[in-house]
């Protein structure tokens, strides 16, 4: 594991202001420490207390943690509740009925508001509608929708009936959609006619048709379509239904189906180091508990806040910090349909100003691109907008470089708002290592300290703790309520991926390399496996390789990541064609064809930024592709390592040249 000394010697520390501390949900380091101590002293008691205080149970639990079948941990497992009841009905009962739940900011700037009462009614009607179609607890649905109130309604309605949903990001291809429909065994698909982003419409229902045409989706009985644009779509009578027709005539009261705490709330597919994306399965109670708690702890959420998370509901951030967490704590949130650069690079800042946003949560890749845009077009520089409503700003998805952190802190936060750099994963369900805005001293580029009850550590390959300052594998030594329960349909892969024998079998391996400085602060160094992080999106190198070799022209492909100023990492593909290596002019054409092919196989986010063609690939005599060397040549650096074990060292020079 490489040690990056520069970050460990970061000396700038930004302490929360006295005023912030005074009003904070976790006011000061002593309050944070008290929670950590409570979890250390009485681990189960700590979680049981929080679960009783935070959630409404239809049947109280008596068992907190069941470790008898580790690593298949169970939390609160003899308890019962309903997630949608906890997000909606609870708010009707506690005085939030007329409070705005969602401020929907559409791509063109049109605003739609729904109160908790209205959202509850919409979810009730839609849930009754799909119930009338015969869907029930234990069924699985696929949700393939744009950012919208309707997407939240669809997710909440499934939760209300105990239907396990699997949201597929609208940017994924028909092929990816088909694979997920099959893997999760969906019988219901909820989609939209089209989505609108950056002034353009992008088809969604047609991708569903395409997925069906690929075969294997015969278990799907209905496709429910939210009419977003009114664009023309193919229609199969009897199978396809408009969302508004499904709701029509239904009562807005839908009895929530109480489920066991461990009932799977959702399955969300994410990339791993090998094979197809894995279906990360989350439970109901433990997940919701953590979604609610971290809203209050990490974001210091108060009833008067206007909260905005810019993620898409197709990612875990959009699940926990849009569809569930904010509603579970009765927040008012902005749901945004568009893109950060439309109609101009000031869109985020203008939207913050327009709605008086107080808590803003986005990704480093967006920050970096907006820094560039602000410099290029001073008219839309954040200083042209009134951002004084902000009080907490957050970052998620990838490491944030100290320069981007400082820019964010000064230009968006006005030097007054704590930056919460939240480290977590699809698998963790919610935040794990993050500052608490009213407690933790901030260091630019560090996600700082684990949340109370999260036993994060850094270990070597044998599972031994490493000394501070020595890098290693990021692990979590005790289970936590929002953790992944299994990989859908593949418990063996779950064990192998996250609880390897080498680490004793009960220590969660995150897949990230990390380091700790002398203050105990965590610094995430990036993935230790073959997973890339492009603009905060997880991508398996194997996934992209499989997509490339599926093209009839391609004999072999190797994919690596290369550091990129804007996207964090960029995909670089090395390709051997079945025919002779093309000349430059031809190579451009074929590269274009292959990039579009990858977009079709996986989605536009997986398109290689660069493709280089070779007569072959650098391999050891036993036939292993030396990706380590390819990473070097992808950066345009010359190989200084010993290449004597290579079958064909000369190939490195050929692959070293960009098109």
Residues that bind ligand 7RM (CB under 6 A): 270, 316-317, 396-399, 421-426, 447, 510-512, 524, 526-527, 533, 536, 538
Q: Which residues pair with 562 in a beta bridge?
A: 570
Is the CB of 280 or the CB of 557 nearer to ligand 7RM? 280
Is the CB of 115 or the CB of 166 nearer to ligand 7RM? 166
DSSP string over 96-149: -TTSEEEEEE-TTS-EEEEEHHHHHHHHHHHHHHHHHTT--TT-EEEEE--SSH
Work out the number of other CB atoms within 10 angstroms of the CB of residue 209: 16
- State the minimum distance, in angstroms, from the CB of residue 394 to ligand 7RM: 9
- State the minimum distance, in angstroms, from the CB of residue 396 to ligand 7RM: 5
Is the CB of 257 or the CB of 400 nearer to ligand 7RM? 400
**Tokens describing residue 352:** 């913050």
Question: What is the per-residue burial (b if ≥16 Cβ within 10 Å, else e) of 618-646?
Answer: bbeeeeebbbebbebbbeeeebeeeeeeb
Sign of CA dihedral 543, 545, 546, 550: positive
Report helix, strand or coil for 530.
coil
Is the CB of 48 or the CB of 419 nearer to ligand 7RM? 419
- State the minimum distance, in angstroms, from the CB of residue 537 to ligand 7RM: 7
Q: Which residues pair with 458 in a beta bridge?
A: 474
Query: What element of type H or E holds 81?
Result: strand 80-81
- State the minimum distance, in angstroms, from the CB of residue 618 to ligand 7RM: 26
299 close to 307: Cβ distance less than 8 angstroms: yes
Identify the burial level of 315 via C-beta atoms within 10 angstroms of its C-beta, where 0-12 means exposed, 13-18 middle and 19 or more buried: buried
Among 299, 287, 289, residue whose Cα is nearest residue 25? 299
- State the minimum distance, in angstroms, from the CB of residue 457 to ligand 7RM: 16
Is the CB of 189 or the CB of 451 nearer to ligand 7RM? 451
Strands 188-192 and 164-167: unpaired
Report helix, strand or coil for 95.
coil
Is the CB of 100 or the CB of 454 nearer to ligand 7RM? 454
Is the CB of 71 or the CB of 526 nearer to ligand 7RM? 526
- State the minimum distance, in angstroms, from the CB of residue 510 to ligand 7RM: 6
Identify the burial level of 231 via C-beta atoms within 10 angstroms of its C-beta, where 0-12 means exposed, 13-18 middle and 19 or more buried: middle
- State the minimum distance, in angstroms, from the CB of residue 524 to ligand 7RM: 4
532 close to 526: Cβ distance less than 8 angstroms: no
Report helix, strand or coil for 179.
helix
- State the minimum distance, in angstroms, from the CB of residue 512 to ligand 7RM: 5
Is the CB of 527 or the CB of 595 nearer to ligand 7RM? 527
Strands 100-105 and 266-270: unpaired
Is the CB of 97 or the CB of 406 nearer to ligand 7RM? 406
Helix/strand/coil percentages in the chain, nearest 5: 35, 25, 45
**Strand locations in 488-622 (E):** 508-516, 522-527, 531-534, 537-540, 554-564, 568-577, 610-613
Is the CB of 92 or the CB of 542 nearer to ligand 7RM? 542
Is the CB of 125 or the CB of 278 nearer to ligand 7RM? 278
């Amino acid at each position: 594991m490489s040690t990056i000394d520069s970050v460990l010697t970061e000396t700038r520390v930004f302490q929360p202001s006295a005023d912030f501390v005074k009003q904070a949900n976790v006011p000061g380091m002593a309050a944070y420490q008290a929670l950590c101590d409570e979890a250390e002293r009485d681990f189960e008691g700590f979680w049981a207390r929080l679960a009783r205080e935070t959630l409404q149970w239809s049947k109280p639990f008596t068992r907190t943690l069941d470790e008898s079948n580790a690593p298949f941990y169970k939390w609160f497992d003899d308890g019962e509740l309903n997630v949608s009841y906890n997000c909606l009905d609870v708010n009707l009962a506690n005085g939030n009925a007329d409070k705005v739940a969602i401020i929907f900011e559409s791509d063109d700037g049109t605003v739609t508001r729904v109160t908790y009462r209205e959202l509850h009614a919409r979810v009730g009607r839609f849930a009754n509608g799909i119930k009338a179609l015969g869907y029930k607890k234990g069924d699985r649905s696929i949700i393939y929708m744009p950012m919208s109130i309707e997407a939240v309604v669809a997710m909440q309605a499934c939760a209300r009936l105990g239907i396990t949903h699997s949201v597929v990001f609208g940017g994924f291809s028909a092929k990816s959609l088909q694979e997920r429909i099959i893997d999760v065994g969906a019988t219901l698909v909820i989609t939209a006619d089209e989505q609108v982003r950056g002034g353009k419409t992008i088809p969604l229902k047609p991708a569903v048709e395409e997925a069906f045409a690929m075969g294997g989706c015969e278990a799907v009985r209905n496709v429910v379509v939210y009419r977003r644009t009114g664009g023309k779509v193919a229609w199969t009578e009897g199978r396809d239904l408009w969302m508004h027709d499904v709701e029509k005539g239904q009562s807005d009261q839908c009895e929530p189906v109480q489920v066991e705490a461990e009932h799977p709330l959702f399955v969300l597919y994410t990339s791993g180091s090998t094979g197809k994306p894995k279906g990360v399965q989350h439970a109901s109670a433990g997940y919701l508990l953590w979604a609610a708690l971290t809203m209050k702890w990490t974001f210091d959420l108060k009833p008067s806040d206007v909260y905005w998370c810019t993620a898409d509901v197709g990612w875990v951030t959009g699940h926990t910090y849009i569809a569930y967490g904010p509603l579970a704590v009765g927040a008012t949130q902005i749901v945004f349909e568009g893109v950060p650069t439309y109609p101009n690079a000031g869109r985020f800042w203008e939207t913050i100003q327009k709605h008086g946003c107080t808590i803003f949560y986005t990704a480093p890749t967006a920050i970096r691109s907006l820094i560039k845009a602000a410099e290029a077009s001073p008219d839309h520089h954040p200083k042209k907008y009134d951002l004084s409503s902000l009080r907490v700003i957050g970052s998620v998805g990838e490491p944030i470089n100290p320069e981007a952190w400082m820019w964010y802190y000064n230009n968006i936060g006005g030097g007054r708002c704590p930056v919460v750099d939240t480290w977590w994963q699809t698998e963790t369900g919610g935040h794990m290592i993050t500052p608490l805005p009213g407690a933790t001293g901030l260091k630019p580029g560090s996600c700082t300290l684990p949340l109370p009850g999260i036993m994060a550590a850094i270990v070597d390959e044998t599972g031994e703790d490493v000394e501070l300052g020595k890098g290693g594998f990021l692990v979590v030594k005790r289970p936590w309520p929002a953790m992944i329960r299994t990989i859908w349909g593949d418990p063996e892969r779950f064990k192998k991926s996250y609880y390897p024998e080498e680490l004793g079998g009960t220590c969660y391996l995150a897949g990230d390399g990390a380091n700790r400085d002398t203050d105990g602060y965590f610094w995430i160094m990036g993935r230790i496996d073959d997973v890339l992080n492009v603009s905060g999106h997880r991508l398996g190198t194997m996934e992209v390789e499989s997509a490339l070799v599926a093209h009839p022209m391609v004999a072999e492909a190797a994919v690596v990541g290369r550091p990129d100023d804007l996207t964090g990492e960029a995909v670089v593909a090395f390709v051997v064609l079945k025919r002779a290596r093309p000349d430059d002019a031809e190579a451009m054409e074929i590269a274009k064809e292959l990039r579009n092919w990858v977009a079709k196989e996986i989605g536009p986010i997986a398109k290689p930024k660069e493709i280089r063609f070779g007569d072959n690939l650098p391999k050891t005599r036993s036939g292993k592709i030396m990706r380590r060397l390819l990473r070097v040549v992808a950066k345009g650096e010359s190989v200084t390592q010993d290449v004597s074990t290579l079958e064909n060292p000369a190939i490195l020079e050929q692959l070293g040249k960009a098109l």
